[in-house]
């Protein structure tokens, strides 16, 4: 049985980490002479992806420094892996940026706000997630043309919210931390504290929109009825139906059948009452473009009783070259177990499987279940700090679920030293990201001529 450190040992561990890596050192980002060419690293990291979809990925990354940052976690992972770190280990998200949070329905059908992307999850030093998150706010603020003061305030808010919330979680018993979550009431209270007049109305509107994103709505958006039968729409390359006579259909159905063995008996029983009536390839996100991703349409008791699930390819985490490899040999299971450990409430249909080709691994989840997220392209400057508060607190809770809250809280302390150091880091790495983005855009322009 695993033995976790006592409270006294955690306090001592936090103090020791301050000695080995002073908090001011969190500000450092140094690009060494041996830093790989970012464009070459990007192309190398895309090996094995669908080459027909890579132009779409690069098109999305070339939109702005922020979309480039979103799509290139491998570069930041490399840079983080070159420097010193605290050694204070948590279950990392691994690709922690502001677009990887959102609201979704818990199994009790309540809306919660939490981290919602775990493709790169792996145990590692807590500050790696925090550094990537604060930098995402700096990059987004610059991309949107917000003032330096507005952007800096949001960055500091992330760090402060994380630090303060971690201190609170360190005082709670383990079970209370495990069940802690940001529900509708929490969101309304936080929004009202920043904007008493409009905050709660804004949150209510956002949550109402998320509640409308049901399986029925997803099916209506992604499918059509032809000759009395519902099928996925044909909108290549974003959505491409798969004919059942095609070999790809055998792969998808094999993944789905094998995935069901990873569900608990009660959830497999529930899923067994649905039958698959449609398959399609789907393009998602920015960094994920080019990986294999399928959606399956399932029908239950009536033609209106629909369920849409997604089977998404999983590979090794971009962090694994710089940390210990995952204890889970199956990358899909690594994603699922990391999500279950850090999320306050996880999808009841979350599972994993291999395909016909045993070298390919997948994880499966519901595609839409009252899910909603912030749109960075539309976020007003006034919402930056409230959203930063949400993200910082949510990340602290996610990290605390794996244990070690007292150790991390001891390290970050009660002053703003960590906040200031991370704000410096965010500026330095946003500069680095802009330089890498410029190199990428120049390379794409040269390739087009």
Q: How confident is the model at residue 2 (pLDDT cuts 50, 70, 90)?
A: low
Q: What is the dihedral of CA 259, 261, 263, 264, to 10 degrees?
A: 180
Q: What is the DSSP letter of 272?
A: T
Burial class (CB in 10 A: 0-12, 13-18, 19+), 104: buried
Q: How far is CA 116 from CA 2, 7, 54, 235, 339, in A?
A: 27, 30, 24, 26, 8
pLDDT tens digits, 129-176: 999 999 999 999 999 999 999 999 999 999 999 999 999 999 999 999
The answer, yes or no, to whether residue 199 has pLDDT greater than 70, is: no
Confidence of residue 214 (pLDDT cuts 50, 70, 90): confident
Q: Which is higher by pLDDT, 302 or 203?
A: 302
Q: What is the pLDDT of residues 282-315, one digit of tens each?
A: 998 899 999 999 999 999 999 999 999 999 999 9
Q: 25: number of CA atoms within 13 Å, CB side?
A: 12
CA distance 102 to 86: 28
To 5 degrees, how large is the angle CA 338–CA 371–CA 112? 65
Listed residue (235, 338, 341) closest to 295, CA to CA:
235
d(CA 165, CA 391): 11
Residue 225: C-alpha distances to residues 230, 254, 368 (Å) = 4, 26, 20
Q: Which of 71-80, 213-222, 326-335 has the lowest average pLDDT?
A: 213-222
* Bigger pLDDT: 221 vs 109: 221
- Model pTM score: 0.94
Q: What is the mean pLDDT of the chain?
A: 93
Q: Is the dihedral of CA 429, 435, 441, 443 positive or negative?
A: negative
DSSP 396-411: HHHHHHTS-HHHHHHH
Determine the pLDDT at residue 192: 76
pLDDT for residue 266: 97
For residue 1, pLDDT beyond 50? no
What is the spatial distance between Cα 349 and Cα 223, in angstroms, rounded to a whole number? 21
Packed helices 73-82 and 126-144: angle between N→C axes, nearest 10 degrees:
130
- Calculate mean pLDDT across residues 408-436: 98
């Amino acid at each position: 049985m695993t033995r976790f450190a006592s409270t006294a040992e955690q306090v001592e561990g936090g103090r020791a980490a301050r000695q080995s890596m002073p908090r001011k050192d969190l500000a450092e980002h140094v690009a060494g002479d041996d830093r790989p060419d970012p464009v070459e690293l990007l192309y190398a990291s895309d090996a094995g992806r669908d080459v027909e979809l890579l132009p779409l990925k690069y098109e999305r990354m070339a939109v702005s420094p922020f979309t480039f940052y979103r799509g290139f976690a491998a570069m930041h992972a490399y840079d983080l892996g070159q420097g010193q770190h605290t050694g204070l280990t948590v279950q990392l998200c691994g690709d922690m940026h502001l677009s990887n949070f959102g609201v979704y329905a818990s199994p009790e059908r309540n809306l919660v706000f939490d981290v919602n992307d775990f493709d790169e999850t792996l145990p590692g030093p807590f500050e790696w997630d925090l550094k990537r998150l604060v930098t995402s706010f700096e990059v987004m603020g610059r991309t949107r043309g917000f003032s330096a003061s507005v952007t800096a305030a949001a960055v500091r808010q992330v760090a402060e919210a994380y630090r303060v919330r971690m201190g609170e979680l360190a005082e709670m018993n383990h079970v209370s931390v495990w069940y802690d979550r940001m529900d509708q009431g929490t969101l309304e209270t936080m929004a009202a504290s920043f904007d008493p007049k409009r905050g709660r109305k804004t949150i209510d509107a956002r949550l109402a929109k998320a509640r409308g994103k049901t399986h029925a709505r997803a099916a209506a958006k992604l499918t059509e009825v032809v000759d009395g039968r519902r099928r996925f729409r044909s909108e290549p390359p974003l959505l491409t139906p798969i004919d059942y006579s095609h070999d790809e259909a055998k792969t998808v159905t094999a993944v789905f059948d094998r995935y069901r063995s990873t569900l608990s008996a009660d959830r497999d029983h529930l899923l067994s009452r649905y039958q698959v009536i449609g398959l399609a390839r789907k393009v998602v996100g920015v960094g994920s473009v080019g990986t294999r991703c399928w959606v399956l349409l399932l029908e239950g008791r009536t033609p209106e009783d629909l369920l849409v699930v997604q089977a998404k390819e999983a590979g090794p985490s971009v962090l694994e070259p710089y940390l210990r490899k995952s204890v889970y040999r199956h990358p899909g299971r690594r994603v699922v177990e990391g999500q279950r450990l850090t999320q306050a409430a996880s999808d009841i249909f979350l599972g994993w499987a291999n395909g016909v080709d045993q070298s390919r691994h997948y994880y499966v989840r519901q595609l839409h279940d009252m899910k909603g997220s912030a749109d960075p392209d539309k976020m007003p400057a006034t919402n930056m700090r409230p959203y930063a508060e949400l993200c910082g607190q949510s990340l602290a809770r996610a990290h605390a679920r794996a244990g070690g809250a007292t150790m991390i809280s001891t390290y970050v302390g009660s002053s703003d030293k960590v906040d200031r150091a991370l704000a410096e880091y965010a500026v330095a790495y946003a500069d680095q990201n802009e330089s890498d983005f410029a190199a990428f855009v120049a390379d794409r322009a040269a390739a087009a001529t």
